[in-house]
Structure 1
Amino acid sequence: MTGDAFDELDFEYATAFAEKAVRAMSQYRVPPTPNNFHTWFKYSLGVSPDLKRAIDILIGNKRKFDAATNRDLFAMYVRADTGDDSDVNNFSQQLHSVMASAKQYLNVAIADNRSQMMAIGDIAERSEAGVDPAPLVENLLNELAKAVNRAAKLEARFAESTRELDAIRDSLSKSEERAKTDTLTGLPNRRALEEFFRKAQIAAMEKGEPLSVLLIDIDHFKKFNDSFGHGVGDQVLRLMASVLRERLRESDLPARYGGEELIAVLPGADLATCAAVAERIRRLISECRITRRSTQELLPSITVSIGVGQFQFGESMADLIERCDRALYLAKRNGRNRVVTEAELDREMAAS
């Protein structure tokens, strides 16, 4: 439910749920900020099943609603639903136009049917009055022919409306797909990543199953770009995207996280499993040979550093990725072209 939809609630209904939201926030010691209130009002209304499940799981696990958790709940379940609606509004206008046309067709058909019924009624009255039946039969046949013709036109118009609705549905589906796809690599983008992680996070907490993430960064990518050009750099990113697709399960999500960083979410995988997958990806990328398309020149090998972390129940996606990022940069400091897990962060801290 968007902000505009909230504004349409009547006073008594909105007040009752606002009071319910405030009571819940007080019970779980959630600071009554505007963003937090928006989150808990939406939770109290029950209009977002994902938000309700996430908060219920946090409550069931006796998790504290600290600033990071509250911020993540708002970002993932409230702000994510209030993005750019320009495409949706455009499709809504198209749909309204089709429905208005269909309504007009029906109104015309109803008016024509009334006229026809009146004409047939007049023929019946004249027949009962003893008028010569020959012209009456002719008139009746004419009216029936008109009815058949109108029905055919109405059917054709509704068939056209159906085709327009199908086109709108297809365009909307393609628009949604474009909005969630990185144009360079063809991988899911940040928006798709957040949506997937939200569902995977809830499923992991409900089922008590592991959920892990690997974060990939290309070693010396800026130097590579400066030496061989951004076109070759783009070619490298597309190659990495292809490797990710090949090495991950259908249930996993590879995505472009930003710049030269790619990410993968692996539901059901613990830290050791995710690290093993990351190592296979690292090794495969290091074995790839890249040729400059314009000159067929063989370019230097590409290597990547990968940080791996496992989801801890109740934490935000940002917290998990932050640990993966720290592990990734530990891999960079230790010589690059390697996989480092969050477990090694603990060991490094203990040794320091």
Structure 2
Amino acid sequence: MPTTEEQISRHWGYADATLKALRDRGLRPTPELYHVWFIYFAAENPEILRVIDAVNASGDDLAEDTLLQLYYRYIFDRQAADFLQRGMEDFSQVVENSDECLTSARNNIRSYGELLKSSLGTLRAHKDVGPVMGEIVDQTEDMKSTIDNLHVRLDGYLNRVVLLQRELEQTRERSYTDGLTRVSNRMHFEEQLSQLAKEYDSSEDAEPFCVMMV
């Protein structure tokens, strides 16, 4: 387990290598390009490593468009999904906390209403006070009804949040893996499969292939 100092030193090394790569290739030091190269030197994404290493091995120049495609395909999409997931979790927590507050308020109002009702019998003997207390009790009942209605609406919101969280997780799973083979990086899998199909169609003596070749 590396120490904090070692981790900081390692990250500065990645940062230096990233800036050098941008400078040596005449690339703009934009956040997107910086992020791709930093991920490359940190070896945090195998697909980014594979593409950049393949281009370097071919001797071709690594175009800015290629790097931007890597960013939006393997970094931005997952960051956006993770951000939405965190947002949904935070919103769900807010709803739960609000629900707890309303539950407490409803209980307090109910207790207050019961207290007023128990006192009303004694106060009814006083003609000037009885009508006033009766009105207070009515208003308390109205407040309790309002809180109950809010409770029902919050329950509905919470159920919708749970459903959205489930749908988001399913969407993320479909974007990361192939439904048939469960292979990671589904988009790359489909690209490779399409490429094999094109080679098969264009060749006169092509050999049959299967998904295990991808």
Could you tell me the TM-score, scaled by structure 1's length? 0.29
Could you tell me the TM-score, scaled by structure 2's length? 0.45
